[in-house]
Amino acid sequence: MNNIRYNSAGKIARIFIDSKLTPLVIMTCLAAGIIALLITPREENPRIIVPGASIVVTFPGATALEVEHLVTNPMESIIKQIPGVDHITSTSTNSLSVINVQFEVGEDKEKSLVKLYDRIWGSTALLPQGIERPLIRSLDVDDVPIVTITLHSGEYDDYALKRIAESLLTHLRSIDGISTVSVQGGTDREIRVELNPEKLLSFGVTIEYAIANLMHANRATSVGTFVSQETVKNVFLDGFLTSADDVKKLTIGTHQGRLIYVEDVAQVFDGPRKNRATLSRLGWGPADPRQATSNISERPAVTVAIAKQTGKDSVVVANSILERIERIESGVIPPGVELDITRNDGKKSNDSVNTLIEHLGIAILTVFFVLLFFLGVKEAFIVSATIPLILSITLSFGYLFDQSINRITLFALVLSLGMLVDSSIVVIENIHRRYTEQKKPLYGADKRALMVMATNEIGNPTNLATLAVMAVFTSMILLTGLPYPFFFPITFNVPIVMFASIMIAYIVVPWACNRWLGH
């Protein structure tokens, strides 16, 4: 036995077949896998880093053609010089230029935005006089909402629903893990001033002068500084108009020694926008019982959209949102307004993980019954027990390398279920064959030597087959662009599954066979 040349399989089996470390390895793998399953962030899709930004430049009084030639084209030329920019799209309208920049997939988000800010602010001298400061807003894949809540009613219009939704937002912004919240749909509020030309004429005030005074009053500005306790503090004047009464009491001039107020020359309305651009409604499909009981097929509705921060667990964030809504619903949502959860990516992610666990159970039972038919009860049990061990190792590595559990990760694991038992089956089948060939029962060192020898015999071809599968899936790392981060969970998880399967086959299977086979 000492003259035998052992390969890697034989050496590993020889070390662990009677080692007290083997049970510790098994328990450690299972514990790490359970912990990783519980704490690894769960998401609907893989994390795809595609840095982007939207740049808005206002050029008051300029036509769309002037904006294009004087603002948009120079800005595009400036941005094209930034390393890592993938493509640029722009829209030029009267007085406004909107430029969307997308960096290459995988570029560092913070560094990309810093480069963009530095290049734009360092090139403002190339832009025409009269433009306002460029407004730069970062764009992120995680801006897509994970939870949407739709408010609808048969008693309230969408203007009132939007006010209710905005009050709901104030209670949701403080939830940990939320990045952005917004209200979609509904009619916007506006304070509308309808000037009376005849009254203006009677007071000797022109329409242009009245409009200029209104615009001047509706702005915030710095009025200077003052020194307090050896500290220089800036003083700002908040002049934004927030109600109809604020507007009515504005002065727009004097006439015969008395002040002229807006309410003297105009009617002021505070309410829904007069000329609406959108219409938001909620309807039900044939499967919804409300379709049969409701007298109307559609209702006014608005939607509250909530996005999570990058790297946060969508299940945890979504559950926090729903718990907060359940707690405050009675105090914020008036009678007659109904609330429906129309999107919940946290539930989808959680259901996907539960599906993986179900498939794991199905895989274990399938392997058990197949091996039960061909090999025996103990052999079937040993191979079936390796499946959760292998998946535990894979999930643990995923957590250590900051991977999330998403539908592509689950696809990779389900795909691997048919391959991860191959090594264990090959090892235990050869052990079973060699053991049954013996004419008398083996015990102690003789039994261990036979099982190490059986593992050693199939080591090289099993290693080669496993490495071939690992090489095929690892080659997907050569993908570029958007497919690379999308398919990376497959490239990452399948090779780890295969490596874990061969290690478990060499460590656990001979150890278990030594303890249970033949007894």
CATH number at 57 reads: 3.30.70.1430
- pLDDT by residue, tens only, the chain of 519 residues: 456 788 888 899 999 988 889 999 999 999 999 999 888 888 877 878 788 888 898 888 888 888 888 888 988 888 888 888 888 888 888 888 899 998 888 788 888 888 888 888 888 778 888 888 888 888 777 778 889 998 888 888 888 888 888 888 888 888 888 888 888 887 777 788 888 888 888 888 888 888 887 777 766 555 455 555 556 555 444 556 677 787 788 888 787 778 888 888 888 887 777 776 667 777 766 666 665 565 556 788 888 899 888 778 888 899 999 999 988 888 888 888 888 888 898 888 888 778 877 877 887 788 888 888 887 888 888 988 898 999 999 999 999 998 888 888 888 888 888 788 889 999 998 888 888 877 666 666 777 888 889 899 998 999 999 999 999 999 888 887 778 888 899 999 999 999 999 999 999 999 998 888 765
> In angstroms, rounded to a whole number, what is the distance separating the alpha carbons of residues 369 and 116?
60
In a domain, 333, yes or no: no
Same domain, 253 and 215: yes
Same domain, 467 and 363: yes
CATH number at 215 reads: 3.30.2090.10
In a domain, 308, yes or no: no
Q: Which of 470, 469, 463 is nearest to 502 (CA)?
A: 463
Query: Among 204, 237, 272, which residue terminates a domain?
Result: 272
> In angstroms, rounded to a whole number, what is the distance separating the alpha carbons of residues 381 and 365?
10
Query: Among 102, 117, 139, which residue terminates a domain?
Result: 139
H helical segments located in 218-288: 244-248, 262-265
pTM of the model: 0.71
Same domain, 57 and 25: no
Domain that holds residue 107: 52-139
Q: Cβ distance 165 to 234 under 8 Å?
A: no
pLDDT of residue 237: 47
Q: Both tokens of residue 27?
A: 């328990």
Q: Both tokens of residue 14?
A: 């020889």
Q: Both tokens of residue 16?
A: 């662990």
